[in-house]
Chains A and B, each alone.
Chain A
Amino acid sequence: MARLANLETEYPVLDSTVRNFCASHGIFSAAFAEQNDSSERLKEGIAQVLSIIDDMHQPWLNGMELLEDAKRNKHVFPTGIQGIDLLLGDGIRVGQLTELVGPSSSGKTQVCLRTASNVARNHMVLYLDTGNSFSPQCIAYFLGKTISPSSAQAKNQFLQKVMSNISCHSVFDIFAMFDVLHQLESYLRCQDGRGCCQMRLLIVDSISSLISPVLGSSSTLGRALMTSAGYLLKKLAHQHNLAVLIINHTVGGEGGSSKPALGDSWKCIPHSRLFLSCDRGSNTYNVSILRHPSMASVKAARFVI
């Protein structure tokens, strides 16, 4: 919250009379203004200070406006995998964080690549890779499976177009991820509404390898970083209409079962959580719901990639 003196250059109505009045009431910064005055000039000054504070928070919306925004912008993207689409209710939703949890080799990266190949047909995708698991060959394979047979040149052109919609960044620690996300935020702020091909999917593979190193058992800074990362992702998802897909690992829980990593403070961040596991020696994967915004009727499914 800025000091009133510093705001005078931007808002000339906050001249010395207003500041003296505020100082007489013990108000030194924009945060403590109160409606307690008699003159017009003071009223203007107070109104100006209030509008400055009003800009510091998100706008108030009523239910109808929220609903309109949800219907217009917050679409659902099918992942291309029937079992997962069934569980999630048609696919991953724009504006929400969907988390895939599972032990290693349980198909999490495959699901992400499949979803990326699906969404990249019409929109841009950003893939944040922490473990060099991004594979263009996989994407080409998934695309090859679904497009209709045509000339090799047309196929090639199509592949080129879709692949150019996916950008992959390698990040190896949480501060690099913050950098990339802040750059993305400023890029999207300029881009919003313009252009036909907009970014609609953000994949973080995997967020646990970025957060676990900073998350000690009793450190507050680690958890603060984790929560800030979660909120930055939520802000990007809601304000710029992105669907966010994050991957998390498992750790040993009580009684030998495995539970999602990153602890209890992370539980409140994603909107939906899916638990993936692989049947030994077969191609089928199991997926079950850990958390879903609405009461899902189907709780578990199987799929093959």
Chain B
Amino acid sequence: MGSHAKAWLVEDESAREMLDRVLTERPFLLLPPLHRVPLRVGNVVELAGPSSSSKTHILIQAAITCILPKLWKGVSYGGLGHSAMFIDLDCRFDVLRFSELLNHRIMEAANGSSSKVGCHQKDSEAQFARMKPYNEELFALCMKRFLYIRCYDSSEFLATLKTLHYRLQKEREVHGVNVHLLLIDSIGAFHWVDRGSSSFPLEYDNRKSWHLQNVSEAAVQEIRRLLLVHPMLVMATKAVVLGNKYSTNELTWNYRKWSAVDNPYSRNITSDQQLPYREYMPAAWQSFVTHRILVRATDDDLVNGEHQNNSIYLLEWLLPPLNSLDKFTVRDTGVFILS
């Protein structure tokens, strides 16, 4: 008995060792353009923005970073080497575009390493031809780590979430790879349909009716339970309609920022002010979200050669509130930060 009690008191590891272990098993993610705040597993990030503001693209970017390996056959790809799951509620995912972006990232990393060695033009072409089968093998490996599902209504979404635990267990057994990222495209996709169907009561009294709130609570509960057993980073997009005072002119943006900085008291007020868009998700989801971002497209274009005209997007962190605006543009190789 005494030895058992003493065994309780022996330490397992020091704080430093624990920090080392946690940081290697659960690393911080710094994904452009979300590089200002490091993200960890267990965080729930909400990307809000009007239609066509590159929200899905940011998700795809995160997925590609997740599925690429860190180091493969001597080339460093800077990825995480884990699986990513994509729940498509918007049903607009374009897999050809996804594979293009993945290929570009792989080639960029491969070319980057070859140019570091400083070889001649002919050598680099020969090396490229040699790397082609490796690239295809890596491409297939990465694509197999990307899991995708479409849901056409809320009941399919809930069914997916409820069976996700077993799916993840199976993935772990079959591939030996953990899922690190859960991406949901357009969490508010079925908002109107669920609101409309709440007026139709179901037959039995002891069952919950199909309300917007109930669906949302059930979804949040399932994801919470899932995060306990499979720690993941959750990223969801949300389509919003921005109010009129949010003009696309950048001057008014800057003016708002400067006037807040000038007066330290008014800065507190503006950080508590209401969100620039009307929040329509139920309270269950709102309290579940740990990080909130707003992206918008500006009217400016970045001229990049004669044929390429890439739009410039603005990104603002709402939670945690940072008084900064990031400008970025989207290219084939990924997101490119402008300022």
Which of B20-28, B307-315, B320-328 touches A? B307-315
| A-B residue pairs, 5 tightest by C-beta | A224-B196, A63-B143, A63-B146, A267-B51, A56-B159
Q: In the complex, which residue of chain A has the Cβ closest to the Cβ of B204?
A: A3
Q: In the complex, which of the residues B91, B142, B149 contacts A231, with contact meaning CB atoms closer than 8 Å?
A: B91
What's the dominant secondary structure at chain A's contact region?
A: mixed
Q: Are A28's CB and B192's CB within 8 A? A: no
Q: In the complex, which residue of chain A has the Cβ closest to the Cβ of B85?
A: A60
**A31 interface hit (Cβ, 8 Å):** yes
Bound Cα distance from A114 to B148, whole angstroms: 35
Q: Are B92's CB and A293's CB within 8 A? A: yes
Bound Cα distance from A220 to B152, whole angstroms: 19
Encode B228-244 as 1/0 by CB contact (under 8 A) with A.
Answer: 00000000000101000
Within 8 A of A (CB), among B113-147: 140, 142-147
Q: In the complex, which residue of chain B has the Cβ closest to the Cβ of A97?
A: B92
Bound Cα distance from A299 to B308, whole angstroms: 10
The interface centre, meaning the residue of B92, B100, B197, B199 with most chain A CB atoms within 10 A of its CB, is: B92
Chain B residue contacts of A271, Cβ below 8 A: 92, 94
Q: Are A221's CB and B143's CB within 8 A? A: no
Chain B residue contacts of A31, Cβ below 8 A: 158-159, 162
Bound Cα distance from A264 to B242, whole angstroms: 10
Interface size on B, residues (CB 8 A): 59
**B284 interface hit (Cβ, 8 Å):** no
Bound Cα distance from A3 to B309, whole angstroms: 56
Q: In the complex, which residue of chain B has the Cβ closest to the Cβ of A299?
A: B309
**B153 interface hit (Cβ, 8 Å):** yes
**B90 interface hit (Cβ, 8 Å):** yes
Interface size on A, residues (CB 8 A): 46
Q: Are B146's CB and A62's CB within 8 A? A: yes
- A60-B149, A227-B190, A294-B100 known; 9 other A-B pairs, CB under 8 Å? A29-B207, A31-B158, A57-B151, A224-B193, A235-B91, A238-B91, A264-B50, A271-B92, A293-B92
**B96 interface hit (Cβ, 8 Å):** yes
Q: Are B147's CB and A67's CB within 8 A? A: no
Given contacts A28-B207, A56-B155, A231-B91, contact A50 B166 (CB under 8 A): yes
Chain A residue contacts of B150, Cβ below 8 A: 58, 238
Bound Cα distance from A268 to B186, whole angstroms: 9
Q: Are B156's CB and A56's CB within 8 A? A: yes
**B52 interface hit (Cβ, 8 Å):** yes
